[in-house]
């Protein structure tokens, strides 16, 4: 693998032991995947920053790194394991919270941008089309690759850390033109309206195609940011999709010929397939917990939920997960007061999947996100229901959903 003089110096330990360790990780990875050289990158979104994921081993690794190195390029952080400001009030345990704070402080010392969100692309980390980056968090990776047209492989905590410290990633996988073409086609012949509709599409297709690169045709109406966010999250939860194209909509797919240059398998997505995702998560009855904001809620989603809850009260425990930046915006727009009066908790920096395990005896979860339904059912063994946002709000108010 070709290395520049500076990269050689990093690898030989001339820039310090921590940088050397990071370079070794990246060179090993590059050699494993047949990379010919390193790429200089401009930004990182780091996953694996929740103490729930790192445990003590990861915490010590990051703390050690923070003593001798700092981030060379802007690096935003994914969801952590607690709401950093309100963890006590929200019932997170002290011991867990202290470990999380230690971990977050180590990242801060290295120069991390403390976004604590899985939607960095709406919180100040917006790469350019064609830019090589190193991102983790499965839903954000799909968004960066597909919607923005930036280029990233699925980075884990250690490789993202190494990339942030060295400013390099090995050139392989989705950094290369030849690996970004579609490998199957999905003909959509149903109108998709809501975020949950797009989540249903993503969930069905993720299950069907696993790690492939689907090319969607038949989506004529331009999806919103929230529609695409839901699609990305679902594709990466039932499957391991890291890139998709929508012909006529996403930037690498002005025409089908731009993204499909060979015969591929063609699948249909119509009414029957659409209903499959809802059938998978079809719990009916009393509702303990309603969750919005997977991926983290945008200001528009929060505004919609606030409008539906004006002068009402929720009966079920109800969370909207988002970033603290978006919560500030919601405060300024008076959405927060409406939601708090209704009894909703705005939980920042984290989500039920990445926070301290907090199944407080919940038996049923209702959500508008396929990713959330998929994971909480697996993690907590609860009954899950996927529903449109209006039905989720109704379930929150009544504590029941038929
Ligand atoms: Fe984000 Fe947590 Fe969902 S990281 S995508 S809110 S599972």
The domains of the chain, with CATH numbers, are 5-177 (3.30.499.10), 181-279 (no CATH), 285-401 (3.30.499.10)
378 pLDDT tier (thresholds 50, 70, 90): confident
CA of 11 to the centre of ligand 1 (A): 35
Distance CA 68, CA 18 (A): 6
Atom of ligand 1 nearest to the CA of 369: 3
Token duo for residue 113: 């941008």
233 touches ligand 1 (CB under 6 Å): yes
State the pTM of this model.
0.97
Q: What are phi and psi of 93, to 5 degrees?
A: -75, 145
User: What is the percent of the chain with per-residue pLDDT over 70, rounded to a whole number?
Assistant: 99
Helices 335-342 and 324-332 meet at what angle, rounded to 10? 100
Distance CA 324, CA 302 (A): 13
235 touches ligand 1 (CB under 6 Å): no
Q: Exposed/middle/buried for 67, CB within 10 Å: 0-12, 13-18, 19+?
A: exposed
CA of 360 to the centre of ligand 1 (A): 19
CA of 138 to the centre of ligand 1 (A): 9
342 touches ligand 1 (CB under 6 Å): no
21 touches ligand 1 (CB under 6 Å): no
294 touches ligand 1 (CB under 6 Å): yes
291 touches ligand 1 (CB under 6 Å): no
353 touches ligand 1 (CB under 6 Å): yes
Task: Provide the pairing of β-strand 44-46 with 214-217.
Answer: unpaired
Determine the average pLDDT of the residues in 291-313: 98
361 pLDDT tier (thresholds 50, 70, 90): confident
pLDDT of residue 166: 98
348 touches ligand 1 (CB under 6 Å): no
Mutate to test the pocket of ligand 1, among 116, 120, 301, 351 (most ligand atoms within 8 A of CB): 351
CA of 347 to the centre of ligand 1 (A): 12
357: pLDDT strictly greater than 70: no
pLDDT of residue 379: 84
CA of 117 to the centre of ligand 1 (A): 8
Q: Which tens digits make up the pLDDT trace of 128-154?
A: 999 999 999 999 999 999 999 999 999
Q: Give nearest CA residue, ligand 1 atom 3.
A: 294
Q: Give nearest CA residue, ligand 1 atom 4.
A: 118
Q: Which residues make Cβ contacts (< 8 Å) with residue 5, sequence separation at least 6?
A: none
186 pLDDT tier (thresholds 50, 70, 90): very high
Say if residues 281 and 294 touch (Cβ distance below 8 Å).
no
Q: Which tens digits make up the pLDDT trace of 264-285?
A: 999 999 999 999 989 999 999 9
Token duo for residue 393: 């709000």
Determine the average pLDDT of the residues in 238-265: 97
73 touches ligand 1 (CB under 6 Å): no
Q: What are phi and psi of 123, to 5 degrees?
A: -135, 40
């Amino acid at each position: 693998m070709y290395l520049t003089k500076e990269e050689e110096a990093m690898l030989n330990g001339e820039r310090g032991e921590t940088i050397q360790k990071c370079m070794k990780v990246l060179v090993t990875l590059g050699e494993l995947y047949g990379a010919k050289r390193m790429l200089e990158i401009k930004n990182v979104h780091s996953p694996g920053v929740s103490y729930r994921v790192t445990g003590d081993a990861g915490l010590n690794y990051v703390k050690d790194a923070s003593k001798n190195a700092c981030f060379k390029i802007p690096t935003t952080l994914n969801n952590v394991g607690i709401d950093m400001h309100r963890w006590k009030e929200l019932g997170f345990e002290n011991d867990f919270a202290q470990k999380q704070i230690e971990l977050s402080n180590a990242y801060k010392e290295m120069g991390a941008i403390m976004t604590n969100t899985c939607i960095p692309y709406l919180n100040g980390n917006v790469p350019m089309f064609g830019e090589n980056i190193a991102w983790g968090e499965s839903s954000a990776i799909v968004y960066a690759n597909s919607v923005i047209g930036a280029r990233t492989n699925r980075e884990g905590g250690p490789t993202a850390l190494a990339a942030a410290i060295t400013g390099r990633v090995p050139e392989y996988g989705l950094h290369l033109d030849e690996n970004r073409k579609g490998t199957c086609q999905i003909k959509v012949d149903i109108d998709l309206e809501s975020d949950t509709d797009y989540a249903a599409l993503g969930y069905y297709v993720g299950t069907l195609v696993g790690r492939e690169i689907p090319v969607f045709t038949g989506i004529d109406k331009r999806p919103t940011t929230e529609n695409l966010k839901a699609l990305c999250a679902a594709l990466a939860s039932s499957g391991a999709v890291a890139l998709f194209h929508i012909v006529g909509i996403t930037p690498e797919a002005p025409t089908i010929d731009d993204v499909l240059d060979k015969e591929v398998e063609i699948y249909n997505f119509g009414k029957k397939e659409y209903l499959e995702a809802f059938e998978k998560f079809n719990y009916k009855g009393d509702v303990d917990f309603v969750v919005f904001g997977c991926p983290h809620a945008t200001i528009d989603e929060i505004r919609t939920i606030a409008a539906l809850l004006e002068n009402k009260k929720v009966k079920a425990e109800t969370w909207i997960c988002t970033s603290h930046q978006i919560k500030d915006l919601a405060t300024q727009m008076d959405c927060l007061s409406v939601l708090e009066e209704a009894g909703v908790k705005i939980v920042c920096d984290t989500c039920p999947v990445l926070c301290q395990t907090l199944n407080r005896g919940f038996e049923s979860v209702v959500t508008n996100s396929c990713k959330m339904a998929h994971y909480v059912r697996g993690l907590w063994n609860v009954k899950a229901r996927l529903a449109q946002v209006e039905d989720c709000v109704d379930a929150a108010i009544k504590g029941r959903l038929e």
